[in-house]
Amino acid sequence: MSLVQLLFYLMAFIAVASALFVAATKNLVRSIFMFFVTLFALAGLYVLALADFVAITQVVIYVGGILVLILFAFMLSGKETLNAVGELKRKFININKLPAIILAGLFLAVLITVIFRIDADNLAWIKKAQFTKNVILPTSATTENIGVNLMTRYLLPFEAVSVLLMVALIGAAHLSRKEGSSL
């Protein structure tokens, strides 16, 4: 087993285990801070998938932006969410959660079945990409190619997403203004 595979299994284990902890815990603070760990482990997985620019973007935007926003939402939305800390001593598996567990488990079974039946490593277009050497290698620099593609081939989605960001900015500012100050 090579070092890359070992790192992959380590990262995958950290990501899955911390995600399960985030889902299982009743303490909101712990779940938010464990979500940090999940996002970092996912950034490591992106690096192992040879997408280093996406990994850096993940760290900057998710960890630096989205998680801080979630922390702000948590701190601004009152203290009674902290009361869940006191009632940790309840049953391990709540009977109310059973339908959700069944739903997630069955969906996981469906997804795993589909993944094993589709046999993604032997798809036609992936074989073709390997044959024509259209594969990112660990030695190839991708960021330059991403920049060129962003300004040529993917210019329309880029502009659309910039307009959408502005709409979201104005919408968030409009939603969170004081009630009845200036209508």
Partner 1 sequence: MISLTDFLIVGAVLFCTGMYMIVSKQNAIQVLIGIELMLNAAILNLVAFGKYDRMDNGGQMFSLFAIVLAAATTAVALAIILNVYKRFKTIDPGQVDKLRD
CB of 23 to partner 1, least distance (A): 5
CB of 126 to partner 1, least distance (A): 5
Residues 50-89 that bind partner 1 (CB under 8 A): 50-51, 53-54, 57-58, 61-62, 65-66, 69-70, 72-74, 76-78, 80-81
Integer angstrom CA distances of residue 145 from 34, 118, 130, 149, 165: 34, 30, 19, 6, 24
Whether the CB-CB separation of 46 and 58 falls below 8 Å is answered with yes
The yes or no reply on residue 116 touching partner 1 (CB under 8 A) is yes
Whether the CB-CB separation of 79 and 165 falls below 8 Å is answered with no
Instruction: Name which of 89 and 163 has its Cβ closer to partner 1.
Output: 163
Instruction: Name which of 3 and 89 has its Cβ closer to partner 1.
Output: 3
Instruction: Name which of 36 and 89 has its Cβ closer to partner 1.
Output: 36
SS (HEC) of 94-148: CHHHHHHHHHHHHHHHHHHHHHHHHCHHHCHHHHHHHHCCCCCCCCCCCHHHHHH
- Choose, by CB under 8 A, the member of 3, 95, 120, 124 that binds partner 1: 120
Using CA atoms, how far apart are residues 39 and 63, in angstroms rounded to an integer?
Answer: 7
For 58, counting Cβ atoms within 10 Å of its Cβ (0-12 exposed, 13-18 middle, 19+ buried), the class is buried
For 51, counting Cβ atoms within 10 Å of its Cβ (0-12 exposed, 13-18 middle, 19+ buried), the class is middle
Instruction: Name which of 89 and 122 has its Cβ closer to partner 1.
Output: 122
Binding mask 134-163 for partner 1 (x = CB under 8 A): xxx---x-x--xx--xx--xx--xx--x--
CB of 89 to partner 1, least distance (A): 18
Residues 6-45 that bind partner 1 (CB under 8 A): 8, 12, 15-16, 19-20, 22-23, 28, 31-32, 35, 38-39, 42, 45
